[in-house]
Structure 1
Amino acid sequence: MPRRKRYPKLPNGFGSIKYLGKGRHFPYGVFPPVTEFNEDGKAISPKALCYVDDWMKGFRVLTAYKAGDYVPGYELQLEDGKDFSGNDLAAELIKEVRRIDKSNAAIQPEKTFEEVYNDFYEYKYKTDKSKIYSDSTRRATVFGFKHLKPLHKKEFRSLKFADLQSALTDSKLSHSSQEQLLSLLHQIYNYADLFELCDKDYSAHLQIMIPDDDRHGVPFSDSDLEKLWKHKDDPTIEMLIIMCYSGFRINEYPGLEINVEMGYFKGGIKTRASKNRVVPIHSGILPLVKNRLERDGKIIGDTQAFRKEMYAALEKYGITHHRPHDCRHTFSMLLERYKVHDNDRKRMLGHSFNGDVTNEVYGHRSLEDLREEIEKIKICY
């Protein structure tokens, strides 16, 4: 059976032509632009102008509607549209529509990537009430947008795969940070497809072109840990110690929920197992955490700036060169060395249970259970 032709997306504010299914004598519904919204800001679908048996007829109806010439029954006067290959005729007609004087308020100019992002953000976090998102999730969304700056002012519909891939690769972020950008692009294109703001999901085949830094790392040695504790009064070293004894990825710290009274961190952004995981604050680093919050009002600022400060501090104090992610490997090493239960180690690192239903679904561990495990780590410096 021959496949039904795919027609190009229509310009913003032009209306829509919807295929209603085979078996109908008039399978295409022709709808004017959306002009009304409900209390939650969701579009109220307008009534169809008419129903036609040919997509090109629908296109002509909308063209007449935009010109103010449409009257009920106009579609009955139209001949069948021409059979064409590759949608060339439709594409040319749409280009012509887009050249209509922009002073005509009925035809809206194409939105930029930034404008589509703002609409998406409003829809996800304010309009759609079906989910409640944490502050860390919101911050991750803003983080991703800021690092896609080359796309901000470009017309969204004109973007192609190469534009998106270039913005992702040129961000120069770590693998885990690029995963955030990739996730955001997928979400924006899902939104854009829903509201007919794009012709194709060009985010579908994007790839991260650097190795996954979550799988490679070198823990701090005992002698390096000793040097870290010796210089804990240095704010940069102070943060490195906190990271070595809590195990979050560097880009997760800005969005963490930190409860000093109850003594825990909560957050995470990478995978389902990572998100909203709870890690007790080890008693050895609790004074450092309190000190940072009281002094700086936050646990960490710009993570890119911190990386530079970290490398300078390690060199200053004669500590082996490490990357921020090595702190996470150090935490994993300490959990293993002090025989923390393997399942609790996975919980605190945000690793999946790989099909172990008993622990993944039925493993219920309280904050105090986890605190008892993390306190097995001895700090002897």
Structure 2
Amino acid sequence: MKKNKYRRLPNGFGTISHLSGKRRKPYVAKAPAVYIIDEDNQTGKYSRLIIGSAETWEKAYQLLLKYNETPYNLSKKNTTLKQVYDAWSKEHFEIVSDSSEKGYKAAFSILENYYDKPFCKLRAFDFENAAKESGKNAPTLKRYKTLINMLYKYAIKYEITTVDFSQAVDLSSLRNRNPNKKKKNIFTKKEIDTLWKSKDKRTVQIILVMIYSGVRIEELLSLTKEDVFLDRQVFEIGDSKTENGIRTVPIADKMLPFFKQFMKEKGKTNHLILNAKGTKFGYHNFRKNYWNPTMEELGMNHRPHETRHTCASLLADHKIEPRTIKKILGHSGAMDLTEKVYTHLDDKVLLDAINTL
């Protein structure tokens, strides 16, 4: 019997195979192969989604034709990017560290303008444009690219889409530069004097504590009363974004009255600094409802992290040894071998340093 000849299918269109044996629908239509990466983002394998089976080659071809017009699972065509992320994160965040979770959340915020767009309609240039417009630095964009890969792996697994556009996302032009880098805008002496004139205001007290300790805002808001040791005049950072961030921070003499006041206050949680509800401050709540209005009221324009730059600058101006500055700030920076062996500095050394400010 002469073998039937069928038309050649275009590249990337999919395939049609004929199953052996007696079958009512022997022709199987399969979507184009997609490369599915492993969790380590290093290896993977090609996989094809079976679209359906048909009695004849022509009917299988029609299945492929319809699929290529809308290349995704029709029952999930309206699943948004945000819905995919929410479902993925619910599973993934159970197996990663808190710092990794924060990193993925920061990376996902880059796509805020695309949250409500159906996932299957996103393309590589959407992800590239979001990255370019975000102003994020290279480390964040690296996590961002990993997130995109993982979202596609998840979406393909649950047949939300079958085309993995993450492989085409190219962020190489952003690799060796920091598009979000801004000139360090430290608080001036005049601005610090202005803050002291308003020292009775809670938000100003928090700002001053940050300037006179170099502590990150997230670290400060996470402190509990058990982390504070007034007798030693220090507090302990046990949870930080870096290993070097886990450290002992001195409480400057000027800051001691604020800490004593914070310690006396009672709320629903045992955090050192409480919000109006008596619970832990959330970063975004603090930034939007407290930090920003205070900056506007005092005629200043600073981000919370600039208190940390200010502390480092002031310590350097007062000729404090670099290794002492790095221990206070919890930043290894460009530590040489000699500096790295100093795993501990006496509380008095740190306190004397911070009291020079």
Q: Which residue identity does 2:258 align to in structure 1?
A: L
CA contact 1:236–1:313 (8 Å) conserved in 2: no
Q: Which residue identity does 1:312 align to in structure 2?
A: E
- What corresponds to 1:62 in structure 2? 50
Q: Within 1, Cα distance between the matches of 2:173 and 2:239?
A: 26
Which of 232, 235, 238 is the aligned partner of 2:202? Answer: 235
CA contact 2:252–2:355 (8 Å) conserved in 1: no
Compute the TM-score of the two structures, normalised by the length of structure 2: 0.60
Instruction: Report the CA distance between 1:273 and its aligned residue.
Output: 6.5
- What corresponds to 2:232 in structure 1? none
CA contact 1:165–1:206 (8 Å) conserved in 2: no
CA contact 2:104–2:147 (8 Å) conserved in 1: no
- What corresponds to 1:159 in structure 2? 122
Which of 80, 100, 113 is the aligned partner of 1:150? Answer: 113
Number of paired residues?
289
Q: Which residue identity does 1:154 align to in structure 2?
A: K
Instruction: Report the CA distance between 1:309 and its aligned residue.
Output: 1.7
Name which of structure 1's ranges 287-296 and 337-346 shifts more when overlaid on structure 2.
287-296
For 1:280, what is the secondary structure of its paired residue?
A: strand
Instruction: Report the CA distance between 1:261 and its aligned residue.
Output: 3.1
CA contact 1:140–1:180 (8 Å) conserved in 2: no
| Correspondences of 1:1-381 after superposition (within 5 Å) | 62-63=50-51, 66-67=52-53, 94-96=67-69, 98=71, 102=74, 108-109=76-77, 111-126=79-94, 128=95, 131=96, 133-134=97-98, 137-139=100-102, 141-142=104-105, 145=108, 148-168=111-131, 182=141, 184-195=143-154, 196=156, 198-201=164-167, 202=169, 204-205=171-172, 207=174, 210-213=179-182, 216-221=184-189, 223-250=190-217, 252-253=218-219, 256-258=222-224, 259-262=226-229, 263-269=235-241, 276-284=245-253, 285-289=255-259, 291=262, 293-294=273-274, 296=276, 297-298=279-280, 301-315=285-299, 322-354=302-334, 356-357=336-337, 359-360=339-340, 363=341, 365-366=343-344, 369=346, 372-378=349-355
For 2:298, what is the secondary structure of its paired residue?
A: helix
CA contact 1:111–1:155 (8 Å) conserved in 2: yes
CA contact 2:238–2:246 (8 Å) conserved in 1: yes
Q: What does the per-residue CA deviation read over 1:198-243, in whole Å, with 9 as the maximum and x for residues that have no partner?
A: 3234263474884513x5223431x543442332111221121012
Q: Within 2, Cα distance between the matches of 1:9 and 1:349?
A: 56
RMSD: 4.6
Structure 1 gap segments, 5+ residues each: 1-5, 20-54, 71-77, 79-89
Q: Within 2, Cα distance between the matches of 1:67 and 1:254?
A: 60
Distance 1:338 1:379, change over 3 A: closer
Q: Within 2, Cα distance between the matches of 1:69 and 1:110?
A: 30
> Alignment identity in percent?
18
Q: Within 2, Cα distance between the matches of 1:371 and 1:282?
A: 11
Compute the TM-score of the two structures, normalised by the length of structure 1: 0.57
Structure 2 gap segments, 5+ residues each: 1-10, 16-29, 36-45, 58-62, 230-234, 263-271
